Each structure stands twice: as structure tokens, then as C-alpha cells.
Amino acid sequence: MSSQNLPIGVFDSGVGGLTVLKALQQKLPQESFLYFGDTAHVPYGDRPPHEIQSLGRQILDWLVQQPVKMAIMACNTSSAVALDVVRNEFSIPILGVILPGAKAAVKQGRRIGVIATPATVGSDCYRKAILEIDPEVEVFQVACPEFVPLIEANRVADPKTPSIVWNRLQPLVEAGIDTLVYGCTHYPHLSQVIQDLLPNRITLVDPAVHMAAAATQELELLNLKSGKRHPSTRFFVSGSPEQFARSSRGCLGFTPEVRAVALPGISIEAATPDLSTAIL
Ligand code: DGL
């Protein structure tokens, strides 16, 4: 098969990257995709950098073997902590979500809030990326460790969710932000709750849309765009395929066929928490 007709690999710790996958499918309707959710190791956001890098490396190894023509880290945590470290270890282009998100944010506002995982906030990568583009803006970052577990447990509609979300948004609203970046690809799953809580003056930025535009540019530049008439998308997870199929139905609008993959060589304890009781 020519490189142009190979799929694009997209990965995340779980269902978060589906928000990026959907933006990519919309922008690139002739491309095939291979989605990998590392649900045996979700959440990434509480893990130390070396574990996030090691997981990213294993997933990229697997994607390269499928093969794919490009890989997209549809995960801010991996993009923040692993992208620069592992990018040069692979021969395919690897793209992350932080830079497209930062570029979009500075076009929107002057007081920019970022909600993200503890690892992404700890890396300070959004502040650095934003200030590199425009040193005059102010950046306010808040870690939201509860959000990913409640999304993965399919509990967005739980009555307790708005107060958990508000606890994290309140300091940003009080700081007078004019723009809020979804600094984790899971968080757009909470967009209805977040929009209901935020004052209208605050503009939301979803890096997914801007990442899709960046991926399109990169494919054109490398002459890798597909001209396929019947593209396909396949779903793989490292944890339970049934759980992923259930949690992704709301976002995808259908129940995907999901296959389990055992990644060789992952030495990290598969500390999959019981997400149904972890938070609420
Ligand atoms: N969706 C990912 C991100 O954008 C990972 C979240 C997690 O597993 O903690 O950061």
C-alpha cells in the first residue's frame, strides 16, 4: 500500500482523544484512522513524566507496526510530557495538541485560563507555549484531577458533576479570564456542564479543531494526503473493549466495534482504578 493510503494513528489514555478524532474526520473525510485508547493506564494525568513517556513510546511502537503514516497524540498530557522526548525516536511524523491550542488561544484573548490534568499543569507547557507567541497575555492554569475519572466512568450527567466542575472553574472566573482552553482532550465531553457554568463573556477554545487544521497542513506538506473513497476507522484499547464501547457511544453517536490489544513490554503497573466509584 502506498504511504498516502495508510491510516493516521490517533491515541489517548481513553475516550478523550475521540474529540480530536471527530475533528480530524470532519476536516479530512478521505483519511482512514486507527484509534488507540490506553484504558488500562488511564488516567495519565496523575502519572510521573517517565511513565507517560514510556507509555507513549510503547503505543507509538505498536502504531508504527500496524503501520500508520502519521501519529497524533490526541492527549495533552502526552503532548506536554512525552512529545519532545520521543518524537525523534520514530521515522513517522508525530503531532501534539498543545501548540495548535496555544496559537488559537492567543488569537482569542488576553487573560487566558487553561484547565488540564495535574501532569500538564505541572509541565507548565501551555504557559510557555502561549507566552512564546505573545508575552503580553496572562495565563491562569488549573489542574482538574477529578474530570477524567468521571468522564471515563460515563458520569457526566451525574447530579454532582456541576459542583465538582465549578470548584475548578471558580478561581478562573474570579481571576477575570476572557478565554478558557480545554487543556485536556477529555474535557469537551463536559462542554455542556462547563458552558452552563461559565459567564457568556468567556470564550471557549477546543484545541482539537486547530489540531485538525495543523494535521491537514502537515499531510499536504509531506505529500501524504489520501484520496480514498471509502476510508475506515478502527478502534483498539489496552483495557476493556466493552467499557470503551459504552463510554464512547455518546461522543461517537454509535457503538463502535472495539478490539483489545496487549502492548508488549509495558512495565508499569496497570493500576486501572475503579472509575465508577473513584470520584462521585
Ligand atoms: N485526554 C488526556 C489529556 O488530554 C489524558 C487525560 C488523562 O488520562 O489523565 O490530557
- pLDDT at residue 267, as a whole number: 54
- Count of beta carbons in the 10 Å neighbourhood of residue 133: 13
- pLDDT at residue 271, as a whole number: 46
Tell me, using a 6 A CB cutoff, whether residue 75 lines ligand 1. Answer: yes
Strand 179-182 to 111-116 pairing: parallel
Give Rg (Cα) of the chain. 18
- pLDDT at residue 266, as a whole number: 58
User: Mean pLDDT of successive 10-residue segments in the chain (280 residues)?
Assistant: 92 97 97 97 96 97 97 98 97 97 96 98 98 98 96 93 98 98 97 97 97 97 91 96 93 96 66 48
Residue type, 34: L
What's the gap in Å between 165 CA and the centre of ligand 1? 16
- pLDDT at residue 80, as a whole number: 98
**Main-chain phi, psi angles of 89, to 5 degrees:** -85, -5
Give yes or no: 184 in active site: yes
- pLDDT at residue 269, as a whole number: 53
What contacts 24+ positions apart, CB below 8 Å, involve 238-241? 238/36, 238/37, 238/38, 238/39, 238/40, 238/41, 238/262, 238/263, 238/266, 238/270, 239/37, 239/38, 239/39, 239/40, 239/42, 239/270, 239/272, 240/39
Q: Which of 2, 5, 33, 64 is nearest to 225 (CA)?
A: 5
Residue type, 5: N
Domains of the chain, earliest start first: 3-96+209-260 (3.40.50.1860), 98-207 (3.40.50.1860)
Looking from the CA of residue 183, the nearest atom of ligand 1 is 4
Set of cell numbers at residue 94? 508525530
- pLDDT at residue 229, as a whole number: 82
What's the gap in Å between 116 CA and the centre of ligand 1? 8
